[in-house]
Amino acid sequence: MKIQNVAIVGGTHGNEFTGSYLAKFWQKNPKLIKRIGFETKVVFANQKAFKNVSRYIDRDLNRACSLTDINNPNKNSHEDKLARELNSKLGPKDDKDKNCDFVIDLHTTTANMGLSLVVSDESELTWLSVSYLAKEFEELKVYRWLGDEEDGYVNSLGSAGFAIEVGAIPQGVLRADLYLKTQELVYKLLDFFEKFEELKDSVKREVSIYDHVALVDYPRDINSKLTAMVHKNRQDRNFQKIKKGEPIFMTFDGKTINYEGKEELYTLFINEAAYYEKGFAMCLAKKIEHKF
Ligand SMILES: [Zn+2]
């Protein structure tokens, strides 16, 4: 497990300003992310979407990085081309000898997720990093999610990595507190990599995580139009339990729809703006102790 190349990716989603402005700031101030023993590069993933203040131009770049899509010559949208460029910078994904040992992909969410990591990778380096950060940041929450389109994440191009998600923050908006939190988390991770040989054996090989179970869509009519919204009692309650019989949605005429699942699970990414089009209102997860 050798760390030689680390990449910080910002602007994967053009309307998520925290990562976009941090990436631009670090491109101008590379000394701040320089550490002994490895190289750190900053990649601004989607300039065109950033200028447009939109998540993407043609398709979601953070779902476009599967091997099937990268190797499909008929995929030629703006983001398909970006995914291929990113693959040569950070991957290649199907090559053991990759250009990047760890990818930190910076995101924000309109859901009240606080400071969280989305992990979709099983590598030892990823989990050592997650466990280390969880100890350093008491409020940090970890969500293991294989995604709605498996393995299409930008951070899946490198050997290890994860996405940082901070919120709640509207699209196209900066918030100093979340900007600083993201920055602090990245610096802490780079410091960990710098002292990796010294610290790795002391990292606990167990970490509390929220493990993905299911996606819950909004109630819709036969034309797929929304017929309800997230219930006020569920709004903002990320990483909190939901029990059978508790309100989950409210119809436009004010009727409550209750959660009918038998299992007590935790709700995450509640009311994330970008997920209306993806067809889910929240994610359900179970809390487990993940050993690695
Ligand atoms: Zn994002």
CA of 111 to the centre of ligand 1 (A): 11
| Architecture of the domain whose range is 212-286 | Single Sheet (2.20)
CA of 77 to the centre of ligand 1 (A): 19
Q: How many CB atoms sit inside 10 A of residue 30's CB?
A: 11
Are 77 and 48 spatial neighbours (Cβ–Cβ below 8 Å)? no
CA of 224 to the centre of ligand 1 (A): 24
CA of 150 to the centre of ligand 1 (A): 16
CA of 62 to the centre of ligand 1 (A): 7
Are 184 and 140 spatial neighbours (Cβ–Cβ below 8 Å)? no
| Domain regions of the chain by residue span | 5-204, 212-286
CA of 166 to the centre of ligand 1 (A): 10
Rounded CA gap, 246 and 224, in Å? 24
Amino acid at 273: A
DSSP, res 137? -
pLDDT for residue 148: 62
Are 32 and 155 spatial neighbours (Cβ–Cβ below 8 Å)? no
pLDDT tens for 225-253 read 999 999 999 999 999 999 999 999 999 99
CA of 148 to the centre of ligand 1 (A): 14
Locate 217 and state its tokens.
């869509």
DSSP string, 192-211: HHHTHHHHGGGS-SEEEEEE
Are 218 and 228 spatial neighbours (Cβ–Cβ below 8 Å)? yes
pLDDT for residue 46: 98
CA of 15 to the centre of ligand 1 (A): 8
pLDDT tens track of the chain, all 292 residues?
Answer: 789 999 999 999 999 999 999 999 999 999 999 999 999 999 999 999 999 999 999 999 999 999 999 999 999 999 999 999 999 999 999 999 999 999 999 999 999 999 999 999 999 999 999 999 999 999 999 999 876 666 899 999 999 999 999 999 999 999 999 999 999 999 999 999 999 999 999 999 999 999 999 999 999 999 999 999 999 999 999 999 999 999 999 999 999 999 999 999 999 999 999 999 999 999 999 999 999 9
CA of 186 to the centre of ligand 1 (A): 16
CA of 171 to the centre of ligand 1 (A): 10
Rounded CA gap, 173 and 171, in Å? 6
Amino acid at 29: N
| Farthest-apart Cα atoms in the chain, separation | 61
Fold of the CATH domain 5-204: Aminopeptidase (3.40.630)
pLDDT tens for 55-98 read 999 999 999 999 999 999 999 999 999 999 999 999 999 999 99
CA of 39 to the centre of ligand 1 (A): 25
pLDDT for residue 146: 72
Instruction: Give the CA dihedral 253, 258, 261, 262, nearest 10 degrees.
Output: -160
pLDDT for residue 223: 95
